[in-house]
Amino acid sequence: MQIIECDAAYFNPRDVLECGQIFRFIPFKEGYKVFSADKACYVHTQKDRTLIECEDGDYFYNFFDLGRDYAAIIEKAKSFDVPLLTRGATLGAGLRLLNQSAEEMIYSFIISQNNNIPRIKGIIERICEKLGEEREFMGEKYHAFPSSAALAAQGAPFYKQLGAGYRDNYLAATSARIAAEGIEMLYPLPTPQLKKQLTTYTGIGPKVADCISLFGFGRRESFPVDTWIEKLYREDFGGTLKDRNKINAYFCNLFGEDAGYMQQYLFYAKRENM
């Protein structure tokens, strides 16, 4: 077992895990067990240090984005002189953007649309239990996220039975396409083209494409727009635009290459009523 330590001031497990960017985690002892692809870790905080216990330190060092200077990102957020953003960056200093499996994010965010987090987590967990390889971590069994081939081997009724609702056809069609084509051709695309290409997959619209780009492909210039972002756009930025695509363009132009970080700080501040 490997143990990675980092400054808890810039890594609050609760804030990182419960902000909507990841769905495969459970409370465990003093912290959480986190599952990504076919790997698992235990993350918790002791005094001023956050500890990650795992069997693949390189994977989780990258997964939790530990090589990045978040103090500098926080200062950049404050430089925009937007009160809500400054509060979010200050009080949410422990937030981090995760580097997750792109394929896992494609399916996870297809499931996420028009859904609540407990239900999303339940659907994903049931899919993993049925189709994912069984593994063990810290004396307990868990299931890896299944491959696209394993997902594609099932039809829409399988996903309907597991609670996916109308997303059953999305999962069946997109997994069949990815199993046949792979997604390697997506990685080198510039972000606007990546987003456009993602929306050609069944069940992926602009907001879901932005989430996949941000959390699965590491495109930190992406800025997902949901109801919370629409609300703060009107109330805290005095915005009058109604179209989400135009609101997205407004924030991307405003925040540039760091838009994804700013989205998380703004979302955190608004959700926590700061």
Cite the active site residues.
207
Q: How far apart are CA 47 and CA 28, in angstroms?
A: 17
Q: Quote the tokens at residue 42.
A: 């235990």
Q: Quote the tokens at residue 5.
A: 């330590």
Long-range contacts of 235-240 (CB under 8 A, 24+ apart): 236/82, 236/83, 236/84, 236/266, 236/270, 237/82
Q: Quote the tokens at residue 56.
A: 């693949």
Q: Quote the tokens at residue 212.
A: 């996949």
Q: How far apart are CA 206 and CA 198, in angstroms?
A: 8
Q: How far apart are CA 155 and CA 175, in angstroms?
A: 10
